[in-house]
Every structure is written in C-alpha cells, then in structure tokens.
Chains A and B, each alone.
Chain A
Amino acid sequence: MTNEPHTTDEIRTDGGMSDVEREQQIDYMDVEINLLKPATPFMRDHLRVIWIGFGIWALTTFAPITMTRLAPDVMTTPIPMIGFPLHYFLLAIVGPGSALVLSVWYARKRDQIDEKYGIEQATVEPETTDTVPDDTTATDGGVEE
C-alpha cells in the first residue's frame, strides 16, 4: 500500500517546483473544484485515491451479485473448509469487510497525503477563536479583490 508511485512525487519537479511547493502557492479561494479535473497537486493526489477506492468499492459491492446472476452454478459452489456457497460468502462477508478495509486504506492514504503536504490538524488543545485567526488571514486577509 505504501509503495504507490505518488509517495515519490515530492521529488518530481514540475515547472521547477515540486508538488508541495506548487501547492503552497495556491489559494483555494481561486481554484475550481472539479471532481474530474483536479486543479491542484493536493486535489490530484486526493482524487486519485478517491477514484481508486470508489472503483474497488463498486466491484466488491455489486460484482458478486452480478456474477451470481450471470453464472449461478459457479457462484453457488461451496467453498472447501468453511462451507459457504461462494456467492453467500462474497455477499455477507467480503462485501461489508472490503468496505471496512477500504475505509482504513483511504483514511491512511489521506493521512499520508496530509503528511506529504505538511498539513497538520489541530487536535490536541481545545482551540479558542482568538488564538486562531491564522496565518492565512495574516498573509492574504484584507486583500482587496
């Protein structure tokens, strides 16, 4: 899981800048959100994970019942040792189980992307509003459009 190509993206340059550097130049107020055309390196990395996950999810959720429709004989063969008919096992256990595994995979992947772009969630201390009007405000707040 951790060997996916994009973990090495940091050293790949693009117009003389790494993804991380390009990302830092971007103000999200100015980029279009498009599910199919990610506008920033972060969004591109994130959407790749989302689409891969969605594809696998669609397969594990709907393929077993479809295959059972297409090839009922093969799919109802009992599995040796555990006794389940194949389709029953795929539906009752593999379906929910793979959604869970995918969720863990996604949440970890997303944490890795956060790490790559140096994003840290403020978790530990309960924040108060007055400490947090953050750097973004300091740098571009108040800029006239």
Chain B
Amino acid sequence: MIDGAPMLISTLLGAMDGVVLQTDEGLLPEGLNVSFKLVPSIIVIGMMLLFIVAGFMFKVADTDDMWVAGRSIGNLENGMAIGANWMSAATYLGVAATVAISGVYGLAYVVGWTTGYFILLIFMAAQMRRFGKYTAPDFVGDRFNSDTARALAAITTFLIGFVYALGQARGMGLVGMYILGDWSALTGGALSAYQTMMVVFMVITVAYLSLSGMLGATKNMVLQYVILIGAFLIGLVATGWSAGYTTILPQLEYGMMIDSLGAEFSAPFAGGSYYLWIATCFSLVFGTCGLPHVLVRFYTVKNERVARWSCTWGLFFISLLYLSAPAFAAIGTALYGNQIGAVYGDPGMTSAAGDVLVVLAAQLAELPAWFVGFVAAGGIAAAVATTAGLFIAASSAISHDIYATIINEDATQRQQVLVGRLSIILIGALTIVFALDPQQPIAALVGFAFSLAAIVLFPMFFLGLWWENTNRPGALAGMTTGIVVWFIPMLNEGNFGLIEGGLGIEAIATWMPAIGSALVGTPIVFAVTIAVSLVTSEPPLRTKQMVRQCHSPDPMPKDMTAADVVAEKNGNRPETPADD
C-alpha cells in the first residue's frame, strides 16, 4: 500500500486546495455552470463591500495597529479571527473533497488541522504573548540575537505566505467565476474568465488590507468567520435535509450512511498507508505550531490569559467546520453516486467535482441557486480571510523584520507603515502573476508550506521558549539543516519542477514524502539545534532572562515585551550590543 503513496499524494494535494490544475474549461465540472447569478452576485458583492468598509473604518496609522492590532483584541473576537485566519479555501472546499476522495486518509487532515491547536495552546500561545514582539521572525531574531536568523525566518515567512496565498487566489477566482460568470470580455480577451475573477478579488483584498492592516483585518476576520461558518453549517444542514439523508445534526447522523458509501470511504488505509497517515498528521500538527500567520494572532491580544482562552475559542470555532466537513463529504459522495456516477474506481469522481464538492452537493440536492451561491460565497470569505492573515505576516516580515530592523534602523512609523503597505501590494501583485497560470502544480504547495513551517520554524519557537540554553549557533545550524532537509523530498518528487521528474528515490518517497516530511525532519532539526547549542557557548544572561520572563506568572503590561521587562529589571542599563 505504500507504493501508491506518491501518486496518491499528488492527486490529493491537487484536490486539497479547492483548485484544479487545468484550463478554465476543466475548472468546473459540468454540473456547475459558469453564468451570472443575480442573488449570489449581490451577496458576494455586498460581502466584499462590507470588508472594504470595515477595513476603512479601522484603518491604521501606526505600526502597533498595523501589525498587532494595538494589542487590543479580546477572547471571542480573537477566537473567531483565529478561526477565519486558519480556515482557507483549502479547508472550506478541500477538506470535504479530500475525505470524499481518499477516505480515512483524508481524516489525517481533519485531525492534524484541529488537534495542533492544543499543542500550540499548552506550549506556545501564552509564552509568545509574553515575548510580545510584532512578528514571528522578530522572535527568532531577538531570541537568538542574530540578524541572520531573523532574515532566515523572515524569508521563510514570506515564502510560506506567498505559496499559501496562491491557492487562495485560485479559490477566489474559481468561485467568483461560478457566481459572477465570465467577464473576460472586459479585458479584451487578454485574461480568461478565471483570471479576470481572480484578479478582481485579489485587488479588492489587497486594497482593504493595505488600508487597514492588522486591526481592520482582525475586525474583518470576525465578520468573515461568521459568514463562512454560517454558509457551511446552514449549507450542510439544508443539503442533507433536502436530499433526505439527514435532519438537524448531520455531523452525527452521517454515521448511518457510511455503510452505503462504498468501502473506499471508510476502509482503513485504502487511501494511504498507516505511515503516510501518521506523517501527514504530524506535519500538519507541528506546521500549525510553526506558521507565522497563526502565531502572530497571539501577539494581538491584551494579555496571556486572553491568548490562552482565545486559542481555546479558536479551536472551538475551527472544530465546528472540521466536525462537519466529513458529513458534507458523505452527503456529497452519496448524491454524486446517485446522480452522476460511481465515486470510486474508474473513472470515479473527477478531481474537478471533488474540488467543489461542497458547492456541488448543495446544487445536487436541488437547493435554489441563490442558496448554492451563498454556500459558494462562504468559500470566498474563507479565502479572503486567510489571504489577509498571510499577507500581514509576509509583509510584516519585509517591512518590520527586514526593512526596519536590518536595513533602516531609524525608520519612522510612517516609513514602516508605508513599506508595509507597499509590500502588501508587492506580494499581492506577485501572487496574482503566479496564480494566473493554473497549469503549475502550485496547489500542492499548501501542504509543503506546513512541512516547511514544522521543520524550520517550529523547533526554533519551541526550543527558544522552553530551553534557555538554545543559542545562536544552534539556531542557525538548525534552521539551515531544516531548509536543506525540507528540500530533499521536494527534489526527490520533482516538485516546483526543480528537477524534471524528480530523483525518484524509492526509500525517500516512502519514508519522507514531502507532505509528511516533518515526521523525519523536525526531530533532526531538534537534534542538530540541541547538539550545536551544547558544544558552543551559552547564550548571554540577558537572553536567558528574556526566556524566563516568558514563563513567569507575573502579569505584564500589555504594551511591554519580555525584553523590556528584563531591561527594566536590570536597571535599564544599555544593552550589550548585539553580536552580529
């Protein structure tokens, strides 16, 4: 069963992001016609206007608001923002698709993408809040006293954000096209229908984001969460009800359907080996704990207690969708099997159909067009919210960590916010350009982004917070090793077209698949970081004290960082200059 894994992975990753790697004609299955739909259009346009207005109302002028929402966000609000920030087009459209197509293996995504929040909660959320900087690279740079480490983390952050956003841009284009129809004529045929919609939605997202920064993004994420979860849950209940499969609690009722769905839906290891399941789940759990746009949500809250409870609320809000997605998959699979053809076997459900299974199921259940549009609109809200979080994290890596900390140390707030806005526009433009051509296997990168975060960033955060003797050489050695290790399966599988066709080494493909490479990679990075830290000199006392301050139970003022507290306790003596 292991042999089939690599091929399976590529199919899955294609399916995962709600994005199809084909030309426009193949992007949507026949069942979903591309046309202008009045009421869904009003819903979507109204929704986007609402986002812009909310962004404008909370527009920002200083860096605190820009990057960490003035550290003003409360429990529920941050919990919803965590949920919206987290649940992307990949979640909204892709999880149900993955569960439908690859059965029990798909549940590795459900488990990995939810339970990781508990690890985040017990080991990192509150301590990160106490550390209290602006960005994830900030933590790495300050904790390990190294601008090189900061730059490595900033580049990784930027890569993760960019790569991940590509999938979101496609989700927007795809669903936008379904709702608004083909507007390519407006561009004189220069852009296809999908491209036109993708550009329109990306431009709107970038506009509101560069205006509003983190504060507006957080307010908007709350709105986006409500829309996306409402659309998903109401869509699920209505679909199940109208198709006659379930009543008011489809999340439990679909158990009765499982028997009739074909062995592939529930047979263990039909869609992926035991090892692949564990490796994938592991990567997703610890990738969650290393993703900069996730961690930064804990910088936005008032204090560490809010960090803890909002993490818990966040998991609750996320679970609502993840507990429902398999039910949607079951209902969608049944509807597809009854009305279109066999789901499994040859030809089986097309990946195009799988990718929009949530929308397709609503349509197959003969729900009215406006309602199907409403369900689709939830997908756009999910994509916009996640893009917002990713762009804020990536642009702060450029503006704050690279520009203000390394290039121009005397940058004024105005300059920083300006560079921040410019970098959001830059990332937006880059994303648009790279998302124009759906031929590239970019959707796969969402999964790779998790491996990257789990291998390179998670060990730095974890050891940095919990082992005060982790030092600069250790961190640099660990991160460098991590980047190298991450590339091994990439090269082996020929992802990014780095090596045409890949190296195809069997043992690596089996034991270190790119999607689950963290199971092997993360322990290696831990070992390297610890070993190098042990054989080199200990970090300075001031750094150790900063770590200790992160664990002290004494409450801290909301606008102070652990470094401020340490400096104050040491009598505000000038800090020893950073050593590089």
Residue with the highest number of chain B CB atoms closer than 10 Å, among A60, A110, A137, A140: A110
Pick from B252, B277, B312: contact of A65, CB under 8 Å: B277
Rounded to whole angstroms, the CA-CA distance of A113 and B267 in the bound complex is 44
Pick from A83, A96, A144: contact of B323, CB under 8 Å: A96
Given the interface pairs A96-B111, A103-B315, the reply to whether A114 lies near B255 with Cβ below 8 Å is: no
Rounded to whole angstroms, the CA-CA distance of A141 and B115 in the bound complex is 41
Expressed in whole angstroms, the minimum distance between the Cβ of A139 and any Cβ of chain B is 10
Binary contact track B304-320/A, C-beta < 8 Å → 1, others 0:
11101101100110010
Check A120 for interface membership: any CB of B closer than 8 A.
yes
Which one of B395-403, B440-448, B547-555 is at the interface? B547-555
Rounded to whole angstroms, the CA-CA distance of A34 and B544 in the bound complex is 11
Given the interface pairs A96-B323, A107-B308, the reply to whether A136 lies near B569 with Cβ below 8 Å is: yes
Check B427 for interface membership: any CB of A closer than 8 A.
no
Check A11 for interface membership: any CB of B closer than 8 A.
no
Check A68 for interface membership: any CB of B closer than 8 A.
yes
Whether the pair B569, A141 counts as a contact (CB closer than 8 A) is yes
Whether the pair B266, A107 counts as a contact (CB closer than 8 A) is no
Whether the pair B566, A29 counts as a contact (CB closer than 8 A) is yes
Whether the pair B278, A100 counts as a contact (CB closer than 8 A) is no
Instruction: Name which residue of chain A comes closest to B304, CB basis.
Output: A121
Instruction: Name which residue of chain A comes closest to B306, CB basis.
Output: A123
| Chain A residues with CB under 8 A of B252 | 82, 93
Given the interface pairs A97-B323, A103-B312, the reply to whether A57 lies near B121 with Cβ below 8 Å is: no
Binary contact track B112-146/A, C-beta < 8 Å → 1, others 0:
00110111011100100000000000000000000
Rounded to whole angstroms, the CA-CA distance of A35 and B569 in the bound complex is 24
Expressed in whole angstroms, the minimum distance between the Cβ of A70 and any Cβ of chain B is 9
Instruction: Name which residue of chain B comes closest to A140, CB basis.
Output: B569
Pick from A43, A69, A88, A114: contact of B274, CB under 8 Å: A69
Which one of B6-14, B29-37, B557-565 is at the interface? B557-565
| Chain B residues with CB under 8 A of A142 | 571
Binary contact track A63-79/B, C-beta < 8 Å → 1, others 0:
00110110010011011
Instruction: Name which residue of chain A comes closest to B309, CB basis.
Output: A107
Pick from A35, A61, A69: contact of B269, CB under 8 Å: A69
Whether the pair A103, B114 counts as a contact (CB closer than 8 A) is no
Within 78-127 of A, Cβ neighbours of B (below 8 Å) are at: 78-79, 82-85, 87-89, 91-93, 95-97, 99-100, 102-104, 106-107, 110-111, 113-114, 117, 119-123, 126-127
| Chain A residues with CB under 8 A of B110 | 91-92, 95-96
Within 511-552 of B, Cβ neighbours of A (below 8 Å) are at: 544-545, 547-552
Pick from A84, A95, A111: contact of B111, CB under 8 Å: A95
| Chain A residues with CB under 8 A of B568 | 133, 137, 141
Expressed in whole angstroms, the minimum distance between the Cβ of A32 and any Cβ of chain B is 6
Expressed in whole angstroms, the minimum distance between the Cβ of A64 and any Cβ of chain B is 9
Expressed in whole angstroms, the minimum distance between the Cβ of B229 and any Cβ of chain A is 15
Rounded to whole angstroms, the CA-CA distance of A82 and B327 in the bound complex is 13
Pick from A79, A85, A96, A111: contact of B305, CB under 8 Å: A111
The contact sample of 19 A-B pairs, CB cut-off 8 A, is A23-B553, A28-B548, A28-B554, A29-B566, A69-B268, A76-B268, A83-B255, A87-B268, A92-B107, A95-B107, A99-B117, A100-B319, A103-B118, A111-B305, A119-B554, A122-B557, A123-B305, A126-B558, A127-B558
Known: A49-B122, A99-B319, A129-B560. 9 other contacts (CB 8 A): A32-B468, A54-B122, A62-B281, A65-B274, A91-B110, A100-B312, A106-B118, A110-B308, A122-B557
Which residues in B have some Cβ–Cβ distance to A below 8 Å?
Answer: 72, 104, 107-108, 110-111, 114-115, 117-119, 121-123, 126, 251-252, 255-259, 266-269, 274, 277-278, 281, 285, 302-306, 308-309, 311-312, 315-316, 319, 322-323, 326, 466-468, 544-545, 547-555, 557-560, 565-566, 568-571
